[in-house]
Amino acid sequence: MSASSYAYLGPEGTFTEAALRTLPEAATRELVPMVSVPAALDAVRGGEAAAALVPIENSVEGGVTATLDELATGAPLMIYREVLLRIAFALLVRPGTRLSEIRTVTGHPVAQPQVRKWLAAHLPDAQWESAASNADGARLVRDGRYDAAFAGEFAAPTYGLEPLVTDIHDARNAETRFVLAGRPARPAARTGADRTSLVVWLRDDHPGALMELLQEFSARGVNLTWIESRPTGEGMGRYCFSIDCEGHITDRRVAETLMGLKRICPNVRFLGSYPRAGAEQGAPEAAPRPGTADADYVAAAEWLARCQDGRA
Amino acid sequence: MSASSYAYLGPEGTFTEAALRTLPEAATRELVPMVSVPAALDAVRGGEAAAALVPIENSVEGGVTATLDELATGAPLMIYREVLLRIAFALLVRPGTRLSEIRTVTGHPVAQPQVRKWLAAHLPDAQWESAASNADGARLVRDGRYDAAFAGEFAAPTYGLEPLVTDIHDARNAETRFVLAGRPARPAARTGADRTSLVVWLRDDHPGALMELLQEFSARGVNLTWIESRPTGEGMGRYCFSIDCEGHITDRRVAETLMGLKRICPNVRFLGSYPRAGAEQGAPEAAPRPGTADADYVAAAEWLARCQDGRA
Amino acid sequence: MSASSYAYLGPEGTFTEAALRTLPEAATRELVPMVSVPAALDAVRGGEAAAALVPIENSVEGGVTATLDELATGAPLMIYREVLLRIAFALLVRPGTRLSEIRTVTGHPVAQPQVRKWLAAHLPDAQWESAASNADGARLVRDGRYDAAFAGEFAAPTYGLEPLVTDIHDARNAETRFVLAGRPARPAARTGADRTSLVVWLRDDHPGALMELLQEFSARGVNLTWIESRPTGEGMGRYCFSIDCEGHITDRRVAETLMGLKRICPNVRFLGSYPRAGAEQGAPEAAPRPGTADADYVAAAEWLARCQDGRA
Amino acid sequence: MSASSYAYLGPEGTFTEAALRTLPEAATRELVPMVSVPAALDAVRGGEAAAALVPIENSVEGGVTATLDELATGAPLMIYREVLLRIAFALLVRPGTRLSEIRTVTGHPVAQPQVRKWLAAHLPDAQWESAASNADGARLVRDGRYDAAFAGEFAAPTYGLEPLVTDIHDARNAETRFVLAGRPARPAARTGADRTSLVVWLRDDHPGALMELLQEFSARGVNLTWIESRPTGEGMGRYCFSIDCEGHITDRRVAETLMGLKRICPNVRFLGSYPRAGAEQGAPEAAPRPGTADADYVAAAEWLARCQDGRA
């Protein structure tokens, strides 16, 4: 494992690896599977890897709490890229196994709700047992412990299995969003279709604090794309918020929003601004509200200077 | 399993069972462990159980997504009670095992982040493997598959194990909140220290929709105690919100807030009003804002009637 | 002066009389000019007149403070009608007077800013002196004290004058809004294009009180058409607000807004709901926001009742 | 009249002159009475006077519309000082006149509502006729046209009258606020207890525009001290707002608010930042909200720079 390698949530053959391989630079880097999200991110913190790709959100299961919590605490990391991957499962079996012979199935716990309906319809009597990862489930099938595993079709050759059924997914459009996290440095360059990620802590004695926080965004016309509460670990009822918004830290309206949050919140962690993946697939980026473009900010600052100089 | 039984997330010996046994009525009911949250709630939906106790939120791990998603979809259920349980783990071993002999440990995946620091400090070389539940981990230790399991101390006798270490918890004040869900009926009686639970869907074409939603609460002085976004399953970027607020559906300010949400949101699911557990432990209930008590609502309605009659 | 008469801000020949005569019922009532707005409204309070027509707002000069303050204090009155009158002045002179002979002009102080530009262009050397009313100015011209008076063209015959120039108005579209005020009774019937008038006092110790007040409107999608601060007379910095909004007190969203104001403000005075005059001339009535129609309120109330009964 | 003179709303002997003489620099300047607020301000615009003192607000009568409208339109002017003057009237008579002999009284129309109750109690049969100014009323008493005039006691010697009754005022704490307006230049220096004055035009097609405008203030914790709607002259229902807020244009929170308004409004006119008069008499200046001090802005800007450099 070299300092220029990319770590990822392993083992080999997971969707995370498949997502990582969609990045052009992955072709020229050592890709190192890690046993957990914390392990992958700690490899980056410790300098053993240049960056780590980890899942952050699934369109069926929601936020990946291990990732959210790891990014919110510990030595700071920053997100430089995101990858959207459509999730469809294959049912992997040892060559020759027939559907009617399957008594036990396995897969990652996160996979279960995404294939539950399919299982109920096609293998109503099969027993599910969770594996540590989809790839690990495949390994356990190879070793004869289970009859079939749900995993990405691309995992079949690695484990000597064959895909008996493919494109299994209870929900249409199931996707997972992955982020490439590295040590803090200059954010990714602005592209015009960017996302900014934050973690924000609220003053805990304050009922309207969440409204105030959101007002910092709405007053500047910055659209939230995601908000997820996470416990701070200081007891029931104490939360921080993982927030994604449209725009880049160098967009004036985003910069002013971030400074506004910084002023009213006891803690704000900037997690990066980076190109938005798959803008064409998800909800369209809303047009910025009138008066919130950089040019408007520049014009207003110039006007203010003229007022202060008595030339308005 | 009788129609008057209480189902719970099993197996026996889990924290859920311990929480259930804190309810006085549990002493007189058949208590039936179920293999999953969906199974427990489906038993209620199907009339095989009167109610089910399931975990909904952990102060370290956050919302229990299986519970949130089950309550948000499918045949409606309602929450009638909540139970707060302090979470501390015991390290269960076969009698005679010493700490230095432990090579492998197991437990529910949710337990892992709550004991990670303890493990790093006391068993840095032990290998963790997840079990389907804490109680299942205990069973696997009894069967010799692992050396030790993290579980509630109360689970030890059931599995012929002994607690080698007790009161293990990385976070101070770790608690889990459980809810008792039944089929829809009249809400629990108002006590004056109540909580109301909802699921709210936003109009998805609308950037400021979350602000508007929160404004329905803030305009009436109703305090949110929890908000958690959950994917709707219709694709990345589509969310609904599980929301808890202070107060009871028969409080006028809560009733008006609910109606306000109903008017602006495409869908609102009322999940119940019920006595707030452990008010003394968590954040104190904020005093209602001036002008939001029932008496204020009554006075305002009488004034309006006088205005409409020309007697103001 | 009979109890069924209509009082108005006199003397005869003012724009107020002209406005009053646009009301069909004016043809069958005794119309009594009064010396001041307070005198006109006190005649109603004392039962000597059934109602009084007084100016409340001019599109050039703004709110008529005497009217606003009289409606805000003293025995309550209610507005049942409004009349919009286009304001254009005639320059009235004694028969035979030529423009070049005019050295002194008079008129009501409110008229002056509406003819200032015309005066500067056509009678730059004429001296202006204010009269108690436009009609009084005409009288003073008749009596030889001034050479010319600005008044409504309709005032000429009353005072034996002739209109030397007509249709004088510095601002295009100058209009005055008049209200017909009576003693409190049932509001005028709802027409679907109504206006509701209020006076609202703020809690004075509270910086964000005005925002909270406006939020009661915006949270229910009720559009303000006018807001005017007026001193309460309790010292600099103490204000109440005269507010007009779209809609009728029997519109559910307006009723709920009124009750919301009543709850958060130390005092609210309902001044009536009445048909909106000249909707076609002024700003168009904004379409009600989705979710704010009466049907939405009814549906939400029914849903709430089902929730409270366990039938949602 | 020299270019260094101060103009004021005359004639001599008015409250405006009394207010002007409270300014130390008035002692060394030529003070020139003007016939009207527009005349006084035009003298400044034309360079014939260095500044003009005009009334802007009375605690009983509200805003002085001539001043508000003159400052809102025409060549820009800026406010550099304000003066608060307690208003109490004297009843001025020709020497020897007794109260019982008074049949006619005069004074400025604005004085009338401030002495109405006194008149009703002490001179119920006296006839009121308005004069162009309080001082002009005193002149007309000297000339024998009326028996008594309400004016400032200080006006008595100028007109050879004597104050028969002093300290007449219907409202306790009646005050008038005057502003000293000059041509645009650098604002007055910040003192820490400042006021900033603005005129703001709204986008007229937009129902929630006033809320958005106020949100620019509230989002930055800037307190409004006054808001007054004024017609734009473009027809009924079109308003601009004269606004005073606490703080100085060089306060960061005020500067950011001004820029925010500039971005969302079609027009903003900055009328100056200047020391707040009589802070001890009026409502106390509210403590700035946490997170809105200059130091908070500086800290947030530094944090943002670190984020942009990857050093946060």
DSSP symbols for C134-175: HHHHHHHHHTTSSSEEEE-GGGTGGGT-EEEEEEE-SSTT-E
A-B interface (Cβ pairs under 8 Å ≥ 3): yes
Task: Quote the CATH superfamily of domain A187-312.
Answer: ACT domain (3.30.70.260)
Partner A contacted by B166 (CB < 8 A): no
D192 neighbors D293 (Cβ within 8 angstroms): no
pLDDT tens digits along B71-86: 999 999 999 999 999 9
C-B interface (Cβ pairs under 8 Å ≥ 3): yes
Tell me: domain A89-168, CATH 3.40.190.10, correct?
A: yes
Any idea what DSSP says for residue A311?
A: -
Residue carrying the six token digits 């302090």:
B86
Compute the CA torsion angle C223, C114, D12, D228 (nearest 10 deg): 10
Please judge whether D223 and C211 are an interchain contact, meaning their C-beta atoms are less than 8 angstroms apart: no
Tell me the two tokens of residue D231: 């017609």
Instruction: Return the CATH number of the domain spanning residue range A1-87+174-185.
Output: 3.40.190.10
A274 beta partners: A195
Compute the CA torsion angle D110, D115, D117, D121 (nearest 10 deg): -150
Q: Which residues of B94-118 are buried (b: 16+ CB within 10 A; e: fewer)?
A: beebeeeebebbbbbbbbbbbbeeb
Distance (Å) of CA D267 to CA A132, A288, D201: 61, 20, 5
Q: Which residues of C110-139 are buried (b: 16+ CB within 10 A; e: fewer)?
A: bbbbbbeebbeeebeebebebbbbbbbbbb
Q: Which chains touch C (3 or more CB pairs under 8 A)?
A: B, D
Task: Quote the CATH superfamily of domain D1-86.
Answer: Periplasmic binding protein-like II (3.40.190.10)
Contacts of C296 in chain B (CB under 8 A): 263
Per residue of chain B (312 residues), what is the pLDDT tens digit?
889 999 999 888 889 999 999 999 999 999 999 988 999 999 999 999 999 999 999 988 899 999 999 999 999 999 999 999 999 999 999 999 999 999 999 998 878 888 989 999 999 999 998 887 888 899 999 999 999 999 999 999 999 999 999 999 888 788 999 999 999 999 999 999 999 999 999 876 566 788 888 888 988 889 888 999 999 888 888 889 999 999 999 999 999 999 999 999 999 999 999 999 975 444 445 567 788 899 999 999 999 999 999 887
Contacts of A109 in chain B (CB under 8 A): 109
Q: What is the pLDDT of residue B61?
A: 85
Could you tell me which residues come within 8 angstroms of residue A245 by beta carbon, excluding any fewer than 6 positions away? A195, A196, A198, A217, A222, A223, A224, A225, A254, A257
CATH topology classification for C186-312: Alpha-Beta Plaits (3.30.70)
Contacts of A44 in chain D (CB under 8 A): none
pLDDT tens digits along A142-183: 999 999 999 999 999 999 999 999 999 888 788 999 999 999
Partner B contacted by A127 (CB < 8 A): no
Positions in chain C whose pLDDT score sits under 50: 280-284
Task: State whether the Cα torsion D123-D126-D127-D130 is positive or negative.
Answer: negative
Residue D43: strand, helix, or coil: helix
Q: What is the pLDDT of residue C281?
A: 46
How crowded is the C-beta side of A101, counted as CA atoms within 13 Å?
10
User: Quick check: ipTM above 0.85?
Assistant: yes
CB pairs under 8 A between C and D: 123
Please judge whether C292 and B186 are an interchain contact, meaning their C-beta atoms are less than 8 angstroms apart: no
β-bridge pairing D51-58 and D6-9: parallel
Distance (Å) of CA B131 to CA A131, B33, B55, B137, B207: 9, 17, 17, 5, 42
Q: Which chains touch B (3 or more CB pairs under 8 A)?
A: A, C
- Domain C1-83+174-183 belongs to what architecture? 3-Layer(aba) Sandwich (3.40)
Give, rounded to a whole angstrom, the gap between the first and last alpha carbons of chain A.
Answer: 61
Please judge whether A304 and D259 are an interchain contact, meaning their C-beta atoms are less than 8 angstroms apart: yes
Share above pLDDT 90 across residues of chain A, in percent, rounded to a whole number: 71
Contacts of C255 in chain B (CB under 8 A): 304
Q: Angle formed by the axes of helices B209-218 and A209-218, to 10°?
A: 140
Judged on CB neighbours under 10 Å (0-12, 13-18, 19+), D78 is buried
DSSP symbols for A8-61: EESSTTSHHHHHHTTSGGGGGS-EEEESSHHHHHHHHHTTSSSEEEEEEEETTT
Query: Confidence class of residue A10 from pLDDT cuts 50, 70 and 90?
Result: confident
Partner B contacted by A73 (CB < 8 A): no
If you measure CA to CA, which chain C residue comes closest to B203? C290
Residue carrying the six token digits 């703004």:
C62
Best mutation target among A129, A236, A242, A253 (most B Cβ atoms within 10 Å) is A236
β-bridge pairing A31-34 and A6-9: parallel
Best mutation target among D127, D236, D239, D276 (most C Cβ atoms within 10 Å) is D236
Is A1-87+174-185's fold the same as A187-312's?
Answer: no
Whether this model's pTM surpasses 0.95 = no
DSSP H stretches of helix in C175-248: 209-218
pLDDT tens digits along B192-235: 999 999 999 987 656 678 888 888 898 888 988 899 999 988 88
Best mutation target among B259, B265, B292 (most C Cβ atoms within 10 Å) is B259
Partner D contacted by A164 (CB < 8 A): no
pLDDT tens digits along C171-180: 878 899 999 9
Partner B contacted by C305 (CB < 8 A): no
> What are the DSSP E strand ranges found in chain D?
6-9, 31-34, 51-58, 62-63, 78-86, 89-93, 104-107, 127-130, 148-151, 162-168, 175-182, 194-201, 224-231, 239-246, 267-275
Partner A contacted by D229 (CB < 8 A): no
| C 253-292: CB under 8 A from B | 255-256, 258-260, 262-264, 268-270, 290-292
Q: Report how far residue A277's alpha carbon sits from residue A284's, in angstroms, rounded to the nearest whole number.
A: 12
| A178: amino acid identity, one letter | F
Q: Which residues of C173-185 are buried (b: 16+ CB within 10 A; e: fewer)?
A: bbbbbbbbbbbbe
Ranges of each domain in chain D: 1-86, 89-168, 186-312
- How many angstroms from the chain centroid is the CA of residue B154? 21
Contacts of C184 in chain B (CB under 8 A): 310-312
Nearest-Cα distance to chain C for D305, in Å, is 32
- Domain B1-87+177-185 belongs to what architecture? 3-Layer(aba) Sandwich (3.40)
Judged on CB neighbours under 10 Å (0-12, 13-18, 19+), D157 is exposed
Q: Report how far residue C17's alpha carbon sits from residue C216's, in angstroms, rounded to the nearest whole number.
A: 37
If you measure CA to CA, which chain B residue comes closest to A225? B237
> In 3-state terms, chain D is what percent helix, strand and coil (to 5)?
30, 30, 40
Contacts of A204 in chain B (CB under 8 A): 283
Phi, psi of B19 (to 5 degrees): -65, -40
Tell me the two tokens of residue C286: 């904004």
Q: Report how far residue B55's alpha carbon sits from residue B53's, in angstroms, rounded to the nearest whole number.
A: 7
Mean pLDDT, residues D107-116 taken together: 86
Contacts of D228 in chain C (CB under 8 A): 228-229
Mean pLDDT, residues A205-227 taken together: 83
